[in-house]
Amino acid sequence: MSDWLVILGAGAVTFLTRASFIVFADPHRFPHGFRVALAFVPPAVLAAIVLPGFAMPEGTLALSLGNHRLLAGVAAAAVAMRVKNPLGAIGAGMAALWGLQALFP
């Protein structure tokens, strides 16, 4: 029972701290520099989530040509910069990963 109370309490605290910016803060009153910096938060969070999976596929740093995930990620990033289409980048990355895994098992 106490485990569930801790889980619910942690969830409530997390929700309230995140919702406070939406409910109580007026985004137009934030300083201009702060609003500009907020635009970089989603890409930074995405990179922090995705990059370890590319660079450390088995738990250790693997920056080599034998790391198929890293090479496929680079291919997907190149396609994303060229095409500007997320689905195209995902498709290219998946195709690159599957191709590398098929060619170099």
71 and 98 share a domain?
yes
Give start and end residues of each alpha helix (H) in the chain.
2-23, 32-38, 41-55, 68-83, 86-103
pLDDT digits (tens, 9 = 90+) for 32-50: 998 899 889 999 998 999 9
28 and 68 share a domain?
no
24 and 44 share a domain?
no
103 and 53 share a domain?
yes
Position 28 scores a pLDDT of 79
The distance between the two most distant Cα atoms of the chain, rounded to a whole number of Å, is: 55
Residue 27: pLDDT above 80? no
Nearest of 50, 92, 84, 49 to residue 100 by alpha carbon: 92
Residue 24: pLDDT above 80? no
Domains contained in the chain, number: 2
Position 23 scores a pLDDT of 80
pLDDT digits (tens, 9 = 90+) for 58-80: 888 988 898 999 999 999 999 99
- The domain of 26 spans 1-38
Residue 21: pLDDT above 90? no
Report the run of H or E that residue 44 belongs to, with start and end: helix 41-55
pLDDT digits (tens, 9 = 90+) for 79-91: 999 998 999 999 9
